[in-house]
Every structure is written in C-alpha cells, then in structure tokens.
Structure 1
C-alpha cells in the first residue's frame, strides 16, 4: 500500500492498548531479567577460572609456645597438713615467694631434735671408723712382725736341720764302717786268727755306731718336725692376725656405709624441712586454689593451686584430620580466627578475608591424639599483623591452613567428588604473605 499520507496509524491508534499487542509483545521486565541473567552467567563463567586457595580447617585453642610458660599446677612435695596460707586467688607472686606452709604427718619426723640426735649418732660412727682404721693398721704391723720373726725362726730351724742332717750322714758312715769291721773281725775270729778280745772290742764299736746312728736319726727327724712346727705355728698366728685385720676392715667399710646413710638421712631431713614452705617456681598470677582450709591433710604430689605465668609467647594448638597430615609442612602459613573476635572469612580468598590473623606452623605431632586427630602448633606470623593482646589462654581458635592455588571450577569438581586437596611440596619459604606461586603440585 502506498504511503501517501502523513497520518501514521500509530499516531491515530494506540497499539499498546490492543489485546493482540499485549498477547504478542515481550514485557520490559523480561528484557531486564534476560540482561541480568546473561550478566550473572558471564560473571559465573569468569569466577570459575578465578584462582581459589585450597585449605584445610582445624579447630583448637590458644596456648603458650614454651611449656614453662603454660599454666602450672603447684603440687605438694611431701605429705602434710596445711597450716597457713600466704596468697589468695588473683595475687601476683614472684619466683621464690611463699605460697603455703605445711607441717608433718609422718611420726618418724615428729621429733624436733631429730637432726641433732642423728648428728650425735653420726659422730659416734665416725669415731668408730677411726678405731677400726687404727686396729687394722696395728694388725697389719703385727702381721709384718710375725712374718719377720717367722723368717728368722725358719732360718735357725733350717740350719739346725742341716747340721743334724750332716751328723746323721756321719753316723751312717760310721755305722757302715763299724759293721764292715765287725763282720771282718767275726770271720777272722771264727777262723782263729783274731782273739776273743778283738772280737768283743769290734762288737762294742759296732754297737756304739748303731746307737749313735739311732740318736742322730732321731735328732734329725726332731729337727725336721721342729721346722714344720714353726711353720704351722706362725701360719696359724699370721692367719688369725689377718682374719682379725679383715674383720676390722669389714667393720670399717660397714661403718662407712652407715655413716653415708646417716649423712644422707640428715641431708634429706634438712631438704624435707625446706619443703614445709611451698614457694612459687616463677613469676605469675594465682588463678585457682584446688585445696582450701586450715588443718587439711594433703598427699605427696597432690595439686594445691594453679599459677599462670605473666610472661609468655602465645601460640595456637590446632587439631587436623589424619588424612590432612601429609599436607602439613613446617613453616607453612595459615589464617587464624579467634573466638569472640569478629571476622568475615573467605577461606578460598585469604586476601579479602577480614578479622583473621596470620600464623605459621612451628611443630607437627607424629602421634595421634586422644581425640583421633593430629595436633599442630602455630605461632604468630612475623610478616603479618600482630595477634590481639586481649587473647587469653584456653580460648577457642579456628585455623585455615593455606595450600595450593587451583581454579574455582576445579575446587567445585573436587568437592562434589569428595576428593582430598592436592598434595604439594613447598619449594621455597619466605616471600609475601600466603605466596602460593612457590608451591608446586605433586600428583
């Protein structure tokens, strides 16, 4: 149709008010919604490729880095009865300050003059030591004198044995000679060559030689017996003196042991008496009394009170699952959220997290804890903001331990499949806070 007029139908007829237009046209709202949805889709696709920091979460509490800086329980070193308190809860004490006074409950320590009596007994034992020592020396001198006398007596006896032996040999020679002479004379007498007088004289000489031989033999045997008697007599005397000397030495050593025991007991009693006044081991504040009252009996090693050191280096102990333990390394960084401290946490983007504080792993336990998890110890990161001074021991803490950087889509896929974070080996330490560029994946 030719457009030969300036009157357009749109100007004359309101198309928007017609029913057909309303049924066929797209509302403006849907146009805006379409644009928003496309924008959201594009942003979602972009976000899928944004780096996401994998992490492991753990929960624990605030503690001290060094064991001597943690809350300490004061125990009774000995069993006793509480007689006087010198502090109360909330007091600040210095090292060596008296906390409580206790008295004895064992009857063996009731004697007020126990140390003096033991000292007197010790002096008596020490005097006995000198006596035993002198006795051993005297017996040693006696043994020496006996041995010298034995040597002289034996030499004399040996000389007498030698002389008697020579005399006995001479008597044997004379006996043999007389025997030969008598036999010869007897033969000649039988033949009538010798007279009766010669025979009797020869017989008399033979009898005299026999008597001398017998006497010499008896004398020689008596000399040998005397020699053996001297040896036996001196051996008995020396043995008795040696036995007495060994007894004196044995008594000396036994008394020495008793002296050592008495000295040890006296020293133990003196040390024990120093335990009557329980003192503070270090500077701190008395936080809680575990015992109360006067005249109450306490056992050895029983807690009396708790002291919190005033100077300490704060740390956080966090417990993680065993499956996450291989991902932990000494010196690795993390973010910590403390109970009661406002925080906005984006675990995958630590750079935009608010209200958390940097931490560094300083120790990792190799033994499973009682709760079935592994314990790690974290201290403040020197390159980060200092931790708040208002943090107190025992308050809860949540740690976000930073691992490898991966795309968001990969992290979503990993979470949907229930896979653990990727294992990595830290190549280097240092750099900026939470620098993941120095971590490489090891699959």
Structure 2
C-alpha cells in the first residue's frame, strides 16, 4: 500500500522555485530603489480666511441698554443693515423722551442771548461814534476859542507895547517939563498938565498889562478845559469800550455753549440711532449670548457672532522650527481637509486622492504660543478647486512638497538622520518666461 501523504509533505526529489522568486524579488527591490520619491513635510493646521472682514465678527452693544425686541434667532441668515434687536435707554441722563427737542430749545435760547449781545454791541458802537463826534466837536470849539484868545492876546500885547512907548515918551516929556519948571521957564499949570499926561500914560500901560494877563489866564483856563474834556471823554469811551468787549466776550461764550449744545444734540440723535443693533454684513447669526426680553446690556458687551457668507478660504499651518528653512513663499502644499475622504501616498502626491493643492503666501517671522511658526496657504487656482463646504476652523493636514529624489536616497537620508533637501521655489514670472521661450 502506497502512502500518499508522505509524497505530498516531503519534496526531496521535486524541483523548487525559491531561487527564482528570490531573484525576482531582489531585482524588483533594486528597481524600486531607483524610483522617484517626493520629499515632504507633514504639518497640521486649520481653515481660516485671509481678510479680517471675512472672519466671524462679534456684535457688540455700542451703548448700555435694555433689550425690548429680538428680530433673529440662532442660525438665521441676515443681510447687511438688517435690524437684529431693539434696545431701550437705561441711563437716567437719557430717559427724557423729548431730550433732543429740549436741548434744541436750549440752543435757540443761547442763540437769542447771543443775538441780544450782538444788538448791544451795535448800540455800543453807535454810542462810541456819538461820543467820538461830540468829543471832536467840543475839542474843535475849544481850539477855536484858544485861537480867538491868542488873536486877542496878540492885539492886547500890541496895545501894551504902544502903551509902553507912550509911557516912555510921557516920562521923558515929564522929566523935561519938570526941569523947565524948576528953572522957571514954564508955569505950574503947564507942569501939572504934563504930570497928568504922564499919569494917564502909566495908567494906560497898567490897564494894557492887566488885559494881557487876563487873556493869558483865559487861554490857560481853556487849555485846562480842553485837557479835562479829553480826560472826561476818554473815561466815557473807555467805559463804553469795556462794555463792548464784555458783550463780545459774552458772544464768544454763547458761541461756545451753542457749539457744546449742538454737539449734545448731534450725540443724542446719534444715540437714538444706536437703539437698533444692525447686521454689519451678510452672514449667519450664531452664539447669541442674551436669552430674552428685558435683559440689560453693558456698554461694548458681546451680543452674538455673525459669520460672513462670502469667504475667501485659506489654511494656516504650523511648522516646526527645524523645518522652517525648508518652507518658502510659493511652496506647494497638499491639503487634506477633515470630513473629506482621502487616500494619501506622501511620496507620490500626484497619485493621492482627496488632496487639494495650495501654495504658501506668507510665513510669519514670530513664533506662535504653541512653539511653532505659522504659515498661510491659499488655493492654487491652477489645480483642483477646494471643496465649497469647508468651514472656518476645519482641521487640515498639510503635506509641504519638497524635492524629488530616488527612494534609495530617501532611505539613506532617514537612516542617517539628515534633513530633507532644501527646495528652491522658482518665481512664477520666470517660469512663465521659460514656458514662452
């Protein structure tokens, strides 16, 4: 009886194909070692946007107030300018419903006071003109009187000079007449007549001197009156001028108070417009923090968040400091978004499925709080479009593409712990020029 199991277990007399398979696998391994391999850096990050106005915006209360009406709820989509809620006033300074009208009445009252002082300035100017005219008239009268007195004084001084001449002549005649009388050549009567003439000439001189002295005194009195008139009118003019400047000061003060009240009116009107909280842009309302009617809001308190509808997405990735020199602006990055299935071959990015191409546009020079450097990646318009359903904050895994090297070189580099090869990014303009050439 032949045992068949023995023949199936032991193959001593049969030919084997192990050497052939070993040689085939060895040659295939050698060939694989020379296949190209794309070096890369694996990073993590999240979806964001490049522009600040496209990020989620907080809606804050510009003034303290009480909520009296809600027009939206969580998840609602709104347009820019839509009214989200209405507030009422809580500060006692603004509770008067006719606050604007009463403040405008104060403005009108201040304007009336200003107009009164302006009219008073007009009256004061008229008084100043009248006083100046009166002063000029009075001074002209006094000047004319002084001129007349000077003319009178000149005539009297001429009369005094004539009297002096007459007195000297009479005195000489009297002396000769007295000598002749003493010698007996003339009678006593003739001598007495000559004496009377001499006395009349002396009296006439004295009268002329008195007239000159009196006229000079009158001129002095008129000069004193002229100075007194100037002093009197100066005091009156200074007093009225002081009242004028006081009125001008009141007008300036009224203008300042009017401007202040007008500023208050403008502020009150603007504050009334702040009772309605409006949507700052098109978007979705989320994270409403107040839950009902009658709740009090503080100045600047966060009410809700609005997420814009239109967003230009970008990805912020975080790079280890040791890999930072390998990432430059224009670097190609393959992005894998959370929630979107992907099959990744890191060494063959063109063979991967579910990855989306992007390029680095900025690398921050300042290290982030997590100890990594942040870089921004945007969509590469020349590649497959990014999925439209991604949201801000979505997790992203990035593969920064470096040099293409053989597999044996990559194995040798990893065994020795060497960093990836430095990758120089070519500018787009030079690349376009080369293509055109």
Q: Would you call these one fold, judging by a TM-score over 0.5?
A: yes
- Counterpart CA distance in 1 for 2:364 and 2:65 is 39
Find the aligned partners of 2:265 and 2:137 in 1 and give their Cα distance.
53
TM-score of the two chains, using structure 2 as the length reference: 0.80
TM-superposed deviation, 1:211: 1.1
Question: C-alpha displacement at 1:302, in angstroms?
Answer: 0.6
For residues 8-47 of structure 1, what are the structure 2 equivalents within 5 Å?
29=18, 32-33=21-22, 36-44=25-33, 46-47=34-35
Shift of 1:85: 2.3
Out of 97, 100, 103, which is 1:118 matched to?
103
Return the offset for 1:125: 1.8
Q: Which residue of 1 aligns with 2:5?
A: none
- Once the two structures are TM-superposed, the CA of residue 246 in structure 1 deviates from its matched residue by 2.1
Equivalence for 2:224: 225
1:294-335 Cα deviation digits (max 9, x unpaired): 332221111011111222222222333567666655554322
Residues 36-435 of structure 1 aligned to structure 2 (within 5 Å) = 36-44=25-33, 46-47=34-35, 50=36, 52-53=38-39, 55-176=40-161, 178-179=163-164, 182=167, 185-186=170-171, 189=174, 192=178, 195-321=194-320, 330-365=329-364, 368-403=367-402, 405=404, 416=416, 419=419, 422=422, 424=424, 426-429=426-429
**Greater displacement, 315-324 / 138-147:** 315-324
Residues 1:413 and 1:429: Cα distance change in structure 2 (over 3 Å): farther
Alpha-carbon distance in structure 2 between the residues aligned to 1:266 and 1:180 = 93
Measured at CA, do residues 157 and 221 of structure 1 come closer, stay the same or move farther in structure 2, by a change above 3 Å? Answer: same
Q: CA deviation at 1:222?
A: 1.9
| 2-structure distance, mates of 1:159, 1:270 | 68
- Aligned 8 A contact 1:331 1:429 in 2: no
1:387 positional shift:
0.9
Distance in 2, Cα, partners of 1:325 & 1:206: 127
TM-superposed CA distance for 1:215, in Å, is: 1.2
**Structure 1 residues 153 and 324, CA gap change in structure 2 (3 angstroms):** farther
Check whether the contact 2:38–2:402 (CA below 8 A) recurs between aligned residues.
Answer: no
- How has the CA–CA distance of structure 1 residues 235 and 41 changed in structure 2, closer, same or farther, with 3 Å as cutoff? same
Tell me, in whole angstroms, the C-alpha distance in 2 between the residues paired with 1:188 and 1:139.
Answer: 72
Residues 342 and 355 of structure 1 are in contact (CA less than 8 Å); yes or no, is this contact kept in structure 2? yes
**Is residue 287–residue 308 contact of structure 1 (8 Å, CA) maintained in 2?**
yes
**CA separation in 2, counterparts of 1:99 and 1:82?**
11
Q: Distance in 2 between matches of 1:295 and 1:91?
A: 22
Q: CA separation in 2, counterparts of 1:269 and 1:83? A: 20
Structure 1 residues 170 and 344: alpha-carbon distance in aligned structure 2, compared to 1, 3 A threshold: farther
Work out whether residues 330 and 425 of structure 2, in 8 Å CA contact, stay in contact via their aligned partners in 1: no
Q: How many residues are treated as equivalent by the alignment? A: 409
Which whole-Å CA distance do the structure 2 matches of 1:323 and 1:143 have between them? Answer: 89
Matched residues in 2 for 1:367 and 1:169: separation?
105
What 5-or-longer segments of structure 2 have no aligned partner? 1-10, 180-190
C-alpha distance in 2 between matches for 1:334 and 1:301: 41
Structure 1 pair 249–429 and aligned structure 2 pair: CA distance change class (3 A): same
TM-score (norm. length: structure 1): 0.79
3-state SS, counterpart of residue 306 of structure 2:
strand
Contact persistence 1:333–1:401 (CA under 8 A): yes
Give the drift of 1:98.
Answer: 2.3
Secondary structure (helix, strand or coil) at the match of 2:287 reads strand
Report the CA distance shift for 1:422/1:365 in structure 2 as closer, same or farther (over 3 A): same
Q: CA deviation at 1:77?
A: 0.9
